[in-house]
Structure 1
Amino acid sequence: MGGFARSKKTARALRRDKAATIGFYTLGALVMLLIFWLLFTILGKGLPGLNIPFLLKQPEEIDPGGGIGPVLFNSFYILLISLIISIPIGVGAGIYMAEYAPDNAFTAGLRICVEALSSVPSIVFGLLGLAIFAEYFGVGLTILGGGVSLALLNLPMLARVTEEAVRAVPDELREAGYALGLTKFYVIRKIVLPVALPSIITGICLVAGRAFGESAVIILTAGLSTSGEMWDFNLLSPGETLAVHLWYVQSEAIVEDARQIADKSAAVLVIVVLLINLAFRAPIWWSNRGAGRKSRS
C-alpha cells in the first residue's frame, strides 16, 4: 500500500515537472517572439531608408531630407563621458561594499540608499543636473552637463550590480588565495574580479544602453539643439542626442518627412544599442571560448 502511494506521488511529481517545463519553455518562446516582433517592426520601417548621407547630414528644421550627423555624434560623446565617470566610481564602490565595508547598520542603510537611487526616475537626475550646471555654475545646457548627469543616473545601478557580482564569487576561491599568502588586494584583482567580470560587463551593458537611449536627462541638461558642427568636441556646446532628436521629430517637427526621419532614427538607435552590447560582450565570449579550447586540449 505504501509503495503504491509513493509511486502515485512520484507520477504526480513527474506530471507537474513536465507541465512546468512546458510552461517555462512556452513563456520563453513568447518573450522571444515579442522581442523579435519589436525588432522587426522598428527595423522593418527604418532600415530600407538608411544610408550614409542620412548618418552624416545636418538635421533640417523646415526642408525635407535632413540627417542625424551631429546628434548621433553627441550621443556617442555624451555616452563616453558618462562611462568614463561612472565605471571607475561605480565598480570601485561595488567592490568596496562587497569586500571592504563593515557589516553594520550604516552599511545596510547605505545599501538601501543605493538601491533606492537605482529606481529613482531619470527626470529627477535631469533636474539635479539642471540645478547644478545651468543654475549654480551658469554654464547652460551643455554636453558636459548631460554626460555628468547620465553618470550620476547610472552610478547606483552599476555599484549595485558590481557588489552582487563580487559577492557571488565563491568564498573558497578567496580562502585559497589567502592560504597561499596573497594579499587581499591581489586576491580581488587576480581571482575575484576575473570571475565576476562577466556579470560586471552585463551591468555596464545595461547602463550604457540606458544612457544612449536616455532622453529626459538630456533634454534638461544638454538641450534640444546642437552647435551645428559635425565633430564638436567642445564640452560647453549644446548636446542634443539621437534619442532627444527622435522625440522632437516625432512630436514637434514640421518637416514633411518627419515620420521617415523618426523611423530611420529609431532603427539607428536600436542598432547602436545592440552593437554596444555586442562590443562589451564579445571579448568575454571570445575569452570563454579560448578557455574552453585549452581545457579540451
Structure 2
Amino acid sequence: MNSKAANNVATGVIYLLVTAVVGILVFLLGYILVTGIPHVSMHFLTSAAQSFKAGGGIRDQLFNSLYLLVLTLIISFPIALGSGIYLSEYAPNNWFTSLIRTAIEVLSSLPSVVVGLFGYLVFVIKFDVGFSILAGAIALTFFNLPLLTRSIEESLEDVPDLQREAGLSLGLSRWKTITGIVFPAALPGILTGIILSAGRVFGEAAALIYTAGQSAPIVSYSNWNPFSPTSFLNPMRPAETLAVHIWKVNTEGVTPDALQISSGASAVLIVVILLFNLGARYLGNWMFKKMTAAK
C-alpha cells in the first residue's frame, strides 16, 4: 500500500470513529430530551416533589442544585484563583511545584463517590456538620478545585510574556502587572473555565448522596433569614439536588410516576448543562472580542 492509499484509509477510519462518537452522543441527548421534554411544564418546575402520589415536581431540587452550585463556587473560586496565580506567575520550576501539580492531577482523577465518602467521614461525622448544603459544597470544592485551578493556570499562561514585560518596563510591580494587565487579558478563559466547572458540579450526584443528603425538607421561600431552620437560604439544612432526586425516584420505587419524573428531571438537567456550555462559549468569545478588539 502506497502512502496516498494509507493516508486515505487512516483518514476514513478517523472520520468513522468521529462519526460513531458524535452519533452516540446525539442519540443519548436526543433520547433524553425526546422522552423528557413532554413531561416538563411550569407546574413540574414550580411544584414540590411527592413521595407516594403522582403529580410531583422538582422545585426544591432545582433550587437546591443552584444554591449548592453558587455556594461551591464561592468557596472554590478564591482558592483556585490563588493557586492558579501562584503556579503560573510565582512558582519556580522545582520539585515542590511538580509535587503540587501531581497532587492536583491525582485529585482530579478521584471518583466522585470517593470524594463523597471523604466528605461524609470528615465533615458530616467528624466535624458534626450533618447532612447539609454546606457539607455538600465543601465536598464539591475538593471535586471542583483541580479542574478550576488548571483552567485558571492555563488561561494565565496563555497571556503573552510581552504583556508582562511591558508592564514591568513601565515601572509596575509584579503584583500590579498581574492584576492590572495579565488577569484582565486572561479573564475570558477564566470565566469559560468557571462556567464549564459549574456544569460539572450541577450534574454531580454521587458525592452529594453522602454529604448533602437524600431528603428535601419543606422550607419557606419567604423566610430570608439564613439562620432560621425553615429558611430556604439555611446552609445547614439537608438538600436533595436534582441529580440525586433522579437517582432516588428510580431506586426507591414508591412514586407512581417515577419514570415520568426522572425523564423530565433528566431533560431539565441536560438543558441546564447545555446552557452552561453554550454560555461558556458565547461569553468567552464575547469577552475576547471586547478586550482584544478582535472581529
- Normalising TM by the smaller chain, what interval? 0.7 to 0.9
1:263 is aligned to 263
Mean Cα deviation higher: 268-277 or 225-234:
225-234
Identity of aligned residues (%): 44
- Tell me how far 1:291 sits from its aligned partner: 6.2
Deviations 1:121-180 (A, max 9, x none): 112221222123321232310111111211121112211222233223332332233223
Query: What is the number of residues matched between the two proteins?
Result: 284
User: Of residues 26, 29, 33 in structure 2, which corresponds to 1:36?
Assistant: 26
In 1, are the aligned partners of 2:116 and 2:208 still within 8 Å (CA)? yes
What's the C-alpha RMSD, in Å, of the aligned pairs? Answer: 2.4
User: Which residue of the partner structure matches residue 242 of structure 1?
Assistant: 242
The residue type equivalent to 1:282 in the other structure is Y
What is the identity, as a one-letter code, of the residue corresponding to 1:273?
I
Shift, 1:266, TM fit: 0.4
1:213 aligns with 2:203: yes
Q: Does 1:203 align with 2:193?
A: yes
Give how far 1:23 is off.
5.2
SS at match of 1:157: helix
SS in 2 for 1:221: coil
**1:173 is aligned to 2:126:** no
Q: Structure 2 unaligned runs (5+)?
A: 222-231
Higher helix share: 1
Code of the residue aligned with 1:214 in structure 2: it is: E
Given the alignment of the two structures, is residue 81 of structure 1 paired with residue 71 of structure 2, yes or no? yes
Q: CA deviation at 1:19?
A: 5.9
Residue 253 of structure 2 corresponds to residue 253 of structure 1: yes
Hey, what's the Cα distance between the residues in 1 that align with 2:185 and 2:6? 36
**Structure-2 residue corresponding to 1:8:** none
In 2, Cα distance between the equivalents of 1:241 and 1:256? 20
The answer to whether residue 134 in structure 2 is matched with residue 134 in structure 1 is: no
1:5 corresponding residue in structure 2:
none
1:102 pairs with 83, 92, 107, which one?
A: 92
Residue 187 (structure 1) aligns with: 177
Report the TM-score, using the length of structure 1 for normalisation: 0.86
Query: By how many angstroms is 1:21 displaced?
Result: 5.5
Q: Distance in 2 between matches of 1:253 and 1:194?
A: 51
- CA distance in structure 2 between the aligned counterparts of 1:84 and 1:255, rounded to whole angstroms: 35
- List alignment gaps of at least 5 residues for structure 1: 1-10
CA distance in 2, matches of 1:190, 1:33: 45
SS in 2 for 1:237: coil
Query: Are residue 53 (structure 1) and residue 58 (structure 2) matched?
Result: no
Between structure 1 and structure 2, the one with the greater Rg is 1
* Deviation of 1:97 (Å): 1.0
